[in-house]
């Protein structure tokens, strides 16, 4: 099971990238949407984990674009400052979940598991 | 319309006076004419009677006839003489008659045919009845033809008869009736002309008066200010709806009652004119009026005093200060609420920025630590662990850099020093937070020692510190009816201490409140006190806190009076 991670903060990205494989997930990590290959090349992705506030295209815009290609893939939008406006936008997208920063690693893990099912043990 | 009816009444009164005076004049003249006629009739009758008596006497001595024959002869001569005359005037005549049994039989009348006898005791022929009865006199009464006459009567003793000289009253009255008719017609014409002239000149005047009155009434009724007028006895003569509203009366309840019912002395009281000074018009004086329900009402009054040709007209314009003060207070409260929100938003925005900037690396750090733990547990090689720890160190450096940046942001800002009146500063602070405290049922009190010298500090930044402390204190209180006290004391030579004390649950001993992100509040940012501390330090002061007994916390900010050392 592969997670696509887009996060501009090095510490956050490094921490997730290091920990998730221990829990059975494959991770493809990028610091910005621009760095991503063509969406066709991401056929293996099962879950998207994106920061909302990214340099360049926002996590929300990317989520919309990605959803158009891969409607079945659940996505998690991480954000440090959450407005009512953003909450409303996320609520209108059933494929999208909001995860407020700061969060606990275990919190993230249980959310990913709930959306995508438990990873193959190993 | 009322004024037109009045005009008609005036004309009617004029007409009545004219008619009455003309009537009196005519009546006097008529009386005079009647007397004159009576005198003439009496003279005529007396002459005739004397003449008849003389004839009778001469007949008696000349002929030597018996008394009855003398009567007959005399009568014949008199009758012959008189029958040839037609009396006097149009209706005047001389009548002779005698009594025969129960009847009076006429022997001479100068008008018309022979008269039938009349009863001796009837209503008709009163003068003749009295003449044959031997009376002499005059009357206005009914004659033998039942005409109303002026009659003079006397007995003819020589013949045993009565004589009456009479003239119809209608004849005497005729000129007066004519005069009254002509005069009345002329008077009616004159009255009509004068009424027309009056109407013609008065109507435009009345019209403009009415228009002016309507205009004034519209102004009075529509005015937002209360307007009252009083007479020189200090009694209310009129008031407009606004005045009635301000004082809570119906207009009819006030008219005719003393002005002092509503307002303290305005110069409209009895005897105030004599005081002179009291009657001087006052502009924009603030006084306390009294409403119908007895409640005091702050009002601003302007008094004008106009001397009329008869008495005075005192006009009082009343502006309701209660309403104006209420709206001013509401405006002020809105402004303060907006200001509070802006301050909170400012703190919120700063918090959000710091949370965002530091939230990511700190969250990452926790995961990096977890990773190191996992790597170690799996027995990973030293290189992998070393790399993970290196990442952590890098993150820590990043966090440290952010905090330095933030500190320098708080500290590095230049202080804009000014002179602060500490007591005023405390009062303003309490006033500002009072609505919020009241909303939560918290008593907020402020007190400053006397004689605290002016403090040299940055007013806006110091205010931010105290805002933060008071806000924290208010939010800390977890029981109903808590208390927050803000106090200013002299803390030693050249130092002032500002304290904010609450009756909240206190701060747990393991929390270090001046450290970033340390907070005991569920949705606190942990930034307010660190920023406050930076500001106080920048002023060369200190900030600390200690628990209170039985419960609560007091924060103290100590500052040098002279400001930060250069």
Rounded Cα distance, B121 and B104, in Å: 9
CB contact under 8 A, A18 and B367: yes
Indicate whether B345 pLDDT > 70: no
User: What pLDDT, on the 0 to 100 scale, is given for residue B97?
Assistant: 86
- pLDDT-derived band at B273, boundaries 50, 70, 90: very low
Chain A touched by B394 (CB under 8 Å): yes
On average, the pLDDT of chain A sits at 89
Which residue in chain A is spatially nearest to B377 when comparing CA positions? A22
Q: Tell whether the model's pLDDT for residue B408 goes beyond 80.
A: no
**Angle between helix A105-116 and A10-19 (nearest 10):** 60
User: B217 and B227 in contact (C-beta within 8 Å)?
Assistant: no
Give the pLDDT mean for A45-63. Answer: 91
Inform me whether the pLDDT recorded for A5 exceeds 90: yes
Considering only CB atoms, A81 lies closest to which of B352, B374, B395, namely B352
pLDDT of residue B84: 65
Q: Which residues of B touch A9 (CB under 8 A)?
A: 360-361, 364
ipTM above 0.90, yes or no: no
> Is B63 in the A-facing interface, judged by CB distances under 8 Å?
no
pLDDT for B479-526, tens place per residue?
888 999 999 999 888 999 999 999 999 888 887 788 766 666 665 656
Mean pLDDT of all residues in chain B? Answer: 82
B381, pLDDT greater than 80: yes
Q: How many CB pairs under 8 A join A and B?
A: 71
Q: Is B359 on the interface with A (CB under 8 A)?
A: yes
Contact across the interface for B364 and A105, Cβ inside 8 Å: no
Lowest-confidence range among A3-17, A65-79, B324-338?
B324-338
- Convert the pLDDT of each residue in B146-170 to its tens digit: 888 888 998 887 777 888 888 888 8
Check CB contact under 8 Å for B361 and A22.
no
Q: How far apart are CA B264 and CA B267, in angstroms?
A: 9
Residue of B512 and B444 predicted with greater confidence: B444
What are the structure tokens assigned to A56, written together?
């360049």
Taking 80 as the threshold, does the pLDDT of residue B282 lie above it?
Answer: no
pTM to 2 decimals? Answer: 0.35
**Which residues of A make CB contacts under 8 Å with B?**
9-16, 18-19, 22, 53, 80-81, 101-105
Across the range B61-82, mean pLDDT stands at: 70
Contact B368 A11 (CB under 8 A): yes
User: pLDDT tens digits for B184-237?
Assistant: 888 888 888 888 887 788 778 878 888 888 888 888 888 888 888 888 888 888
Strand residue runs (E) in B211-258: 226-230, 236-239
- Rounded to the nearest angstrom, the minimum Cα separation between B361 and chain A is 5
Nearest to residue B486, comparing CAs of B429, B541, B539?
Answer: B429
- Element containing residue B328 per DSSP (H, E): helix B321-377
For an interface test with A, give the residue of B350, B357, B359 to mutate (most A CBs within 10 A): B359
Q: Which residues of B touch A22 (CB under 8 A)?
A: 371, 374, 378
Chain A residue numbers with beta carbons less than 8 Å from the beta carbon of B395 are: 10-11, 14
Residue of chain B nearest A16, judged by CA positions: B367
Q: Over pLDDT 70: what percentage of chain B? A: 86
Give the nearest partner residue to B360 out of A11, A19, A22, using CB atoms.
A11
Look-up of token digits 């005036």: B10
Q: Is A56 helix (H, G, I), strand (E, B) or coil?
A: coil
Q: Which residue's structure tokens are 């662990």?
A: B385
For B:327-356, CB contacts with A below 8 A are: 352, 355-356
Q: Which of A3, A11, A29, A80 to mutate to test the interface with B (most CBs of B within 10 A)?
A: A11
Q: What angle do CA B286, B290, B295 make, to 5 degrees?
A: 115
- A63 pLDDT more than 50: yes
Winning range, highest mean pLDDT, from A68-77, A83-92, B81-90: A68-77
Give B523's contacts in chain A (Cβ within 8 Å).
none
Task: Tell whether the model's pLDDT for residue A42 goes beyond 50.
Answer: yes
Average pLDDT over residues B285-313: 83
Q: Write the residue in A14, A102, A105 that is nearest to B359 by C-beta.
A: A102
Interior CA angle at A12 toward A11 and A18, to 5°? 85
The partner residues of B543 in beta bridges, in order of sequence, read B557
Among the listed residues A28, A32, A29, A27, the one whose alpha carbon sits nearest the alpha carbon of residue A8: A32
Token pair 């009002």 in the structure block, residue = B299
């Amino acid at each position: 099971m592969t997670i696509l991670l887009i996060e501009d903060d090095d510490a956050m990205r490094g921490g997730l990238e290091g920990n998730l494989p221990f829990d059975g997930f494959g991770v493809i990590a990028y610091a910005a949407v621009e760095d991503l290959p063509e969406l066709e090349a991401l056929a293996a992705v099962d879950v998207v984990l994106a920061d909302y506030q990214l340099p360049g295209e926002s996590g929300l815009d990317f989520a919309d674009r990605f959803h158009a290609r891969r409607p079945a893939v659940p996505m998690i939008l991480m954000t440090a400052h959450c407005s009512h406006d953003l909450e409303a936008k996320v609520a209108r997208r059933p494929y999208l979940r909001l995860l407020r920063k700061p969060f606990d690693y275990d919190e993230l893990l249980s959310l990913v598991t709930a959306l995508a099912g438990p990873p193959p043990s190993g | 319309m009322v004024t037109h009816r009045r005009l008609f009444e005036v004309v009617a009164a004029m007409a009545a006076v004219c008619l009455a005076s003309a009537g009196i004049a005519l009546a006097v003249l008529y009386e005079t004419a009647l007397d004159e006629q009576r005198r003439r009739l009496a003279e005529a009758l007396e002459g005739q009677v004397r003449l008849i008596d003389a004839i009778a006497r001469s007949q008696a001595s000349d002929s030597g006839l018996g008394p009855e024959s003398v009567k007959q002869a005399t009568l014949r001569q008199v009758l012959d003489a008189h029958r040839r005359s037609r009396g006097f005037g149009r209706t005047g005549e001389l009548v002779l008659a005698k009594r025969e049994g129960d009847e009076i039989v006429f022997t001479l009348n100068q008008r018309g045919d022979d008269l039938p006898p009349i009863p001796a005791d009837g209503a008709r022929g009163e003068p003749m009845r009295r003449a044959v009865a031997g009376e002499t006199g005059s009357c206005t009464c009914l004659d033998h033809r039942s005409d109303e006459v002026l009659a003079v009567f006397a007995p003819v003793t020589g013949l045993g008869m009565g004589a009456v000289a009479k003239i119809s009253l209608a004849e005497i009255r005729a000129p007066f009736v004519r005069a009254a008719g002509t005069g009345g017609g002329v008077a009616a014409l004159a009255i009509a002309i004068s009424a027309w002239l009056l109407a013609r000149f008065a109507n435009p005047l009345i019209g403009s008066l009415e228009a002016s009155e309507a205009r004034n009434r519209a102004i009075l009724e529509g005015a937002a200010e209360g307007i009252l007028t009083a007479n020189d006895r200090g009694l209310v003569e009129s008031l407009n709806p606004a005045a009635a509203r301000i004082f809570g009366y119906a207009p009819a309840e006030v008219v005719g009652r003393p002005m002092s019912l509503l307002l303290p002395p305005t110069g409209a009281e009895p005897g105030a004119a004599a005081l002179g000074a009291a009657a001087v018009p006052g502009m924009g004086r603030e006084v306390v009026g009294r409403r119908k329900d007895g409640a005091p009402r702050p009002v601003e009054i302007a008094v004008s005093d106009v001397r009329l040709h008869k008495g005075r007209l005192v006009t009082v314009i009343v502006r309701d200060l209660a309403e104006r003060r209420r709206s001013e207070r509401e405006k002020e409260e809105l402004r303060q609420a907006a200001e509070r929100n802006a301050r909170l938003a400012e703190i919120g925005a700063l918090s959000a920025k710091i949370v965002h900037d530091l939230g990511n690396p700190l969250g990452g750090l926790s995961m990096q630590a977890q990773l190191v733990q996992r790597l170690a547990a799996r027995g990973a090689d030293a290189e992998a662990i070393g790399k993970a720890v290196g990442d952590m160190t890098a993150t820590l450096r990043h966090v440290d850099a952010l905090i330095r940046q933030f500190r320098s942001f708080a500290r590095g800002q230049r202080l804009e020093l000014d002179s602060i009146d500490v007591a005023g500063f405390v009062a303003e602070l309490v006033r500002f937070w009072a609505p919020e405290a009241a909303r939560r049922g918290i008593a907020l009190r402020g007190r400053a020692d006397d004689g605290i010298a002016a403090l040299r500090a940055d007013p806006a930044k110091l205010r931010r510190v105290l805002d933060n402390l008071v806000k924290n204190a208010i939010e800390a209180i977890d029981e109903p009816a808590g208390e927050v006290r803000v106090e200013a004391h002299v803390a030693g030579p050249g130092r002032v201490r500002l304290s904010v004390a609450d009756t909240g649950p206190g701060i747990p001993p393991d929390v270090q409140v001046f450290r970033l992100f340390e907070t005991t509040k569920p949705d606190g940012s942990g930034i307010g006190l660190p920023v406050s501390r930076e500001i106080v330090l920048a002023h060369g002061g200190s900030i600390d806190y200690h628990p209170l007994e039985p419960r609560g916390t007091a924060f103290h900010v100590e500052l040098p009076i002279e400001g930060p050392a250069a």
